[in-house]
């Protein structure tokens, strides 16, 4: 494996649930062609890819989504970009654009889907792992898509670009 890092892979996200397995398998093969990774790291990457693709299929409608894998030493970054409206929270008190920056807040996507995030700028936030933040089991969300990505990664950031009307999901894994 004589690669010059970083290696950047650009992948189109499938539009149908039946294609998630083949997409994930092909993406993992491309990653493994570049880097030797232990089974635990491979599992994390697969879970993240499955959740990002499922999120696109479910929420982005018919717009095209892309995943960019940046394979480097000693990290892997997974970036998903898609056109669409920004993430909206159930609660009317905390919405994008954020008024307060560098603040930990609780957001809700539904009555059972709560997350803690840290605002990074008006259109950007980092998902927080409740265990690392000293929160207890009651703070874990009922619906686990974003939570799975949070736990499987070292960093999970969402950013909305209001000018391009694009959602960006940036996931980093230290390998």
The answer to whether residue 144 scores a pLDDT higher than 80 is no
pLDDT > 70 in the chain, percent = 89
Query: What is the Cα–Cα distance from 99 to 123, expressed in whole angstroms?
Result: 10
User: Is the Cβ–Cβ distance between 46 and 28 less than 8 Å?
Assistant: yes
pLDDT at 114: 76
Report the largest interatomic distance among the alpha carbons of the chain, rounded to a whole angstrom. 52
Write down the pTM of the prediction: 0.87
Q: What is the mean pLDDT of the chain?
A: 88
Closest by Cα among 132, 145, 113 to 48: 145
pLDDT at 119: 94
Query: What is the Cα–Cα distance from 101 to 126, expressed in whole angstroms?
Result: 12
pLDDT at 91: 67
Section 82-106 average pLDDT: 86
Q: At what angle do helices 20-34 and 39-59 cross, to 10 degrees?
A: 140
Q: How confident is the model at residue 139 (pLDDT cuts 50, 70, 90)?
A: low
Each residue's pLDDT tens digit, 155-171: 999 999 999 999 999 99
pLDDT at 141: 52
Closest by Cα among 39, 35, 29, 27 to 68: 27
Q: Which helix (H) or strand (E) holds 28?
A: helix 20-34
For residues 148-163, one letter each, b for 16 or more C-beta atoms within 10 angstroms of the residue's C-beta and e for the rest, the string is bbbbbbeebbbbbeee
Each residue's pLDDT tens digit, 102-121: 998 888 877 777 788 999 99
Going from N- to C-terminal start, the domains of the chain cover: 7-74, 104-174
pLDDT at 110: 75
pLDDT > 90 in the chain, percent = 61
Residue 54's φ and ψ, nearest 5 degrees, are -60, -45
pLDDT at 1: 54
The answer to whether residue 140 scores a pLDDT higher than 70 is no
Each residue's pLDDT tens digit, 37-56: 999 999 999 999 999 998 88
């Amino acid at each position: 494996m004589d690669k010059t890092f970083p290696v950047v892979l650009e992948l189109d996200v499938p539009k149908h649930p039946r294609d998630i397995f083949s997409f994930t398998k092909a993406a993992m093969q491309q990653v493994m062609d570049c880097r030797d990774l232990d089974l635990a790291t491979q599992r994390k990457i697969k879970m993240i890819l499955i959740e990002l693709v499922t999120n696109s299929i479910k929420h982005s409608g018919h717009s095209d989504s892309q995943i960019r894998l940046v394979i480097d030493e000693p990290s892997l970054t997974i970036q998903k970009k898609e056109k669409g409206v920004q993430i909206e929270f159930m609660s009317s008190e905390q919405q994008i654009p954020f008024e307060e920056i560098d603040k930990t807040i609780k957001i809700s996507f539904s009555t059972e889907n709560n997350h803690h995030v840290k605002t990074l700028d008006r259109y950007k936030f980092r998902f927080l792992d409740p265990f690392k933040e000293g929160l207890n089991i009651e703070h874990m969300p009922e619906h686990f898509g974003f939570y799975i990505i949070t736990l499987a990664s070292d960093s999970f950031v969402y950013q909305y670009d209001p000018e391009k009307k694009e959602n960006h999901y940036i996931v980093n894994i230290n390998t």
